[in-house]
A and B are shown apart, each in its own frame.
Chain A
Amino acid sequence: RKEVEQDPGPFNVPEGATVAFNCTYSNSASQSFFWYRQDCRKEPKLLMSVYSSGNEDGRFTAQLNRASQYISLLIRDSKLSDSATYLCVVNMREYGNKLVFGAGTILRVKS
């Protein structure tokens, strides 16, 4: 079983739509959680951290459920520029601040 699992998609949505991505992780020792964004043929970039209380950054909302080992990302009012691959990432801090990446979910926003 993969340590971090994501639905690979692709999710094809129209502009203005709301889309949600889910992610599960297997290691209960995981300590920190993130969503990264990766554009085609580019490096991953941090989108936002994920906290148990839930956090919001503009159109993006992230949520963590430690009991279910589940992470989510909600994107409201999708823009064409949101088209990318979204990577769910957990941090195993006790192992050299090691990040474990999901394979990513592809989002395509169409006009």
Chain B
Amino acid sequence: NAGVTQTPKFRVLKTGQSMTLLCAQDMNHEYMYWYRQDPGMGLRLIHYSVGEGTTAKGEVPDGYNVSRLKKQNFLLGLESAAPSQTSVYFCASVRDGVEETQYFGPGTRLLVL
């Protein structure tokens, strides 16, 4: 039981390049989330999903897209990376709308040059 995993752990991109961050959970959780964490700002919600095939915008969705084609996976895409997207990205999951404990992945550090 690996919990929540994220790939890659670290990536350097040039401005304008695209990439996809993968989040996978093996706990059969319904809800999944993508956050970014920047110094002095805490974690901010980018997008979230309340079930397979559904996605919704969070607090800072611009410049990102997501997909939840399989229940266990939640993908975060950057179509054209910008330096402002340099951040640490965390994925999290929770069992359902009643359970409140979110389980976080180890994070992906992204540097956009």
Contact = CB atoms under 8 A, between A and B. Distances in A.
A44 B90 contact: yes
The number of chain A residues touching the other chain, given as a range, is 20 to 34
B66 to A, nearest CB: 13
A91 B100 contact: yes
Given A43-B107, A96-B56, A49 B45 contact: no
B43 A97 contact: no
A72 interface: no
Contacts, number: 56
The number of chain B residues touching the other chain, given as a range, is 20 to 34
A104 B105 contact: no
A7 to B, nearest CB: 12
Contacts of A96: 31, 48, 50, 56, 97
Interface string B84-113: 000000101010110111101111000000
14 contacts: A41-B107, A44-B43, A44-B90, A44-B104, A93-B97, A96-B31, A96-B50, A96-B56, A97-B96, A97-B100, A98-B33, A98-B58, A99-B102, A104-B42
Interface of B: 31, 33, 35, 40-45, 48, 50, 56, 58, 90, 92, 94, 96-97, 99-102, 104-107
